Amino acid sequence: MPVLSNYKVLLSCASLCGLLLLGACSSVPRDIQPSENEPVTRTRSSNSVAQLLRRADSARGNNAAALLLQAAQLMYEQSQTTEADLLLASINMNGLDADTGADILLFRAEIAQEQDEPRQVLDLLQSSTIPALNSLDAAYQIRYHRLRAQA
Protein backbone atom coordinates (compact mmCIF):
# COMPACT_ATOMS: atom_id res chain seq x y z
CA MET A 1 0.00 0.00 0.00
CA PRO A 2 2.75 2.59 0.76
CA VAL A 3 3.99 2.31 -2.84
CA LEU A 4 0.51 3.15 -4.14
CA SER A 5 0.19 6.26 -1.96
CA ASN A 6 3.67 7.46 -3.02
CA TYR A 7 2.59 6.98 -6.62
CA LYS A 8 -0.55 9.12 -6.05
CA VAL A 9 1.54 11.89 -4.45
CA LEU A 10 4.04 11.77 -7.27
CA LEU A 11 1.25 11.86 -9.87
CA SER A 12 -0.39 14.83 -8.12
CA CYS A 13 2.91 16.74 -8.02
CA ALA A 14 3.60 16.04 -11.68
CA SER A 15 0.10 17.20 -12.64
CA LEU A 16 0.50 20.40 -10.62
CA CYS A 17 3.90 21.11 -12.21
CA GLY A 18 2.45 20.51 -15.67
CA LEU A 19 -0.42 22.91 -15.04
CA LEU A 20 1.97 25.56 -13.74
CA LEU A 21 4.17 25.20 -16.81
CA LEU A 22 1.19 25.47 -19.14
CA GLY A 23 -0.01 28.59 -17.35
CA ALA A 24 3.42 30.19 -17.57
CA CYS A 25 3.73 29.46 -21.30
CA SER A 26 0.34 30.84 -22.21
CA SER A 27 0.82 34.38 -20.94
CA VAL A 28 3.27 37.05 -22.06
CA PRO A 29 5.04 38.97 -19.29
CA ARG A 30 3.57 42.45 -18.89
CA ASP A 31 6.86 44.24 -19.40
CA ILE A 32 7.26 42.63 -22.86
CA GLN A 33 3.75 43.40 -24.19
CA PRO A 34 3.72 46.54 -26.37
CA SER A 35 1.61 49.37 -25.09
CA GLU A 36 -1.23 50.71 -27.20
CA ASN A 37 0.70 53.92 -27.87
CA GLU A 38 3.77 52.27 -29.38
CA PRO A 39 3.86 52.24 -33.22
CA VAL A 40 5.53 48.83 -33.38
CA THR A 41 4.38 47.82 -36.87
CA ARG A 42 5.06 51.19 -38.47
CA THR A 43 8.62 51.28 -37.12
CA ARG A 44 9.33 47.80 -38.42
CA SER A 45 7.94 48.73 -41.85
CA SER A 46 9.99 51.93 -42.00
CA ASN A 47 13.11 50.01 -41.13
CA SER A 48 12.22 47.42 -43.72
CA VAL A 49 11.88 50.07 -46.44
CA ALA A 50 15.26 51.53 -45.53
CA GLN A 51 16.83 48.08 -45.43
CA LEU A 52 15.34 47.13 -48.79
CA LEU A 53 16.59 50.35 -50.36
CA ARG A 54 20.11 49.75 -48.99
CA ARG A 55 20.10 46.18 -50.29
CA ALA A 56 18.82 47.35 -53.68
CA ASP A 57 21.73 49.83 -53.93
CA SER A 58 24.21 46.97 -53.87
CA ALA A 59 22.17 44.61 -56.07
CA ARG A 60 21.88 44.52 -59.86
CA GLY A 61 19.23 43.79 -62.48
CA ASN A 62 16.25 41.68 -61.45
CA ASN A 63 17.45 41.45 -57.84
CA ALA A 64 17.64 45.23 -57.47
CA ALA A 65 14.27 45.69 -59.20
CA ALA A 66 12.60 43.08 -56.97
CA LEU A 67 13.96 44.78 -53.84
CA LEU A 68 12.79 48.19 -55.03
CA LEU A 69 9.36 46.71 -55.81
CA GLN A 70 9.14 45.31 -52.27
CA ALA A 71 10.14 48.70 -50.84
CA ALA A 72 7.48 50.41 -52.97
CA GLN A 73 4.86 47.93 -51.78
CA LEU A 74 5.73 48.71 -48.15
CA MET A 75 5.60 52.44 -48.87
CA TYR A 76 2.19 51.98 -50.46
CA GLU A 77 0.97 50.08 -47.39
CA GLN A 78 2.12 53.05 -45.29
CA SER A 79 0.02 55.41 -47.46
CA GLN A 80 3.12 56.81 -49.17
CA THR A 81 1.52 56.33 -52.57
CA THR A 82 3.33 59.12 -54.42
CA GLU A 83 6.71 58.02 -53.07
CA ALA A 84 5.98 54.41 -54.02
CA ASP A 85 5.07 55.43 -57.57
CA LEU A 86 8.19 57.59 -57.91
CA LEU A 87 10.34 54.71 -56.71
CA LEU A 88 8.72 52.35 -59.22
CA ALA A 89 9.15 54.90 -62.02
CA SER A 90 12.87 55.12 -61.23
CA ILE A 91 13.47 51.42 -61.89
CA ASN A 92 15.36 50.72 -65.09
CA MET A 93 13.14 48.24 -66.94
CA ASN A 94 15.78 47.27 -69.52
CA GLY A 95 16.89 43.69 -69.17
CA LEU A 96 14.38 42.68 -66.49
CA ASP A 97 12.68 39.31 -66.76
CA ALA A 98 9.08 39.40 -67.95
CA ASP A 99 7.53 38.63 -64.55
CA THR A 100 9.44 41.33 -62.67
CA GLY A 101 8.72 43.90 -65.37
CA ALA A 102 5.04 42.98 -65.37
CA ASP A 103 4.86 43.20 -61.57
CA ILE A 104 6.29 46.71 -61.66
CA LEU A 105 4.09 47.98 -64.49
CA LEU A 106 0.92 46.43 -63.11
CA PHE A 107 1.57 47.85 -59.65
CA ARG A 108 2.19 51.30 -61.13
CA ALA A 109 -1.05 50.98 -63.09
CA GLU A 110 -2.95 49.98 -59.94
CA ILE A 111 -1.58 53.06 -58.16
CA ALA A 112 -2.60 55.27 -61.11
CA GLN A 113 -6.06 53.74 -61.09
CA GLU A 114 -6.41 54.40 -57.38
CA GLN A 115 -5.42 58.02 -58.02
CA ASP A 116 -8.14 58.23 -60.70
CA GLU A 117 -5.71 58.64 -63.59
CA PRO A 118 -7.11 56.38 -66.34
CA ARG A 119 -4.90 57.94 -69.05
CA GLN A 120 -1.78 56.98 -67.10
CA VAL A 121 -3.13 53.43 -66.61
CA LEU A 122 -3.55 53.06 -70.36
CA ASP A 123 -0.13 54.62 -71.05
CA LEU A 124 1.54 52.18 -68.66
CA LEU A 125 -0.28 49.18 -70.08
CA GLN A 126 0.35 49.57 -73.78
CA SER A 127 1.17 46.37 -75.60
CA SER A 128 4.67 47.74 -76.26
CA THR A 129 5.39 48.09 -72.53
CA ILE A 130 4.52 44.45 -71.83
CA PRO A 131 5.61 42.74 -75.04
CA ALA A 132 5.58 39.21 -73.62
CA LEU A 133 2.05 39.44 -72.21
CA ASN A 134 0.88 36.21 -73.86
CA SER A 135 3.79 34.30 -72.36
CA LEU A 136 3.07 35.51 -68.82
CA ASP A 137 1.10 33.57 -66.25
CA ALA A 138 -2.70 33.90 -66.53
CA ALA A 139 -2.83 35.93 -63.30
CA TYR A 140 -0.74 38.68 -64.94
CA GLN A 141 -2.92 38.65 -68.04
CA ILE A 142 -6.09 38.93 -65.96
CA ARG A 143 -4.69 41.88 -63.95
CA TYR A 144 -3.57 43.56 -67.19
CA HIS A 145 -6.93 43.22 -68.94
CA ARG A 146 -8.91 44.13 -65.82
CA LEU A 147 -6.92 47.33 -65.32
CA ARG A 148 -7.25 48.32 -68.99
CA ALA A 149 -10.99 47.64 -68.96
CA GLN A 150 -11.51 49.68 -65.80
CA ALA A 151 -9.54 52.61 -67.18
* Burial group, residue 31, by CB count within 10 angstroms (0-12, 13-18, 19+): exposed
The tens digit of pLDDT for each residue in 91-140 reads 999 989 999 999 999 999 999 999 999 999 999 998 778 768 888 899 99
Angle at 112 between CA 132 and CA 92, to 5 degrees: 50
- Alpha-carbon dihedral 120, 102, 126, 116, rounded to 10 degrees: -20
pTM: 0.66
Q: What is the mean pLDDT of the chain?
A: 79
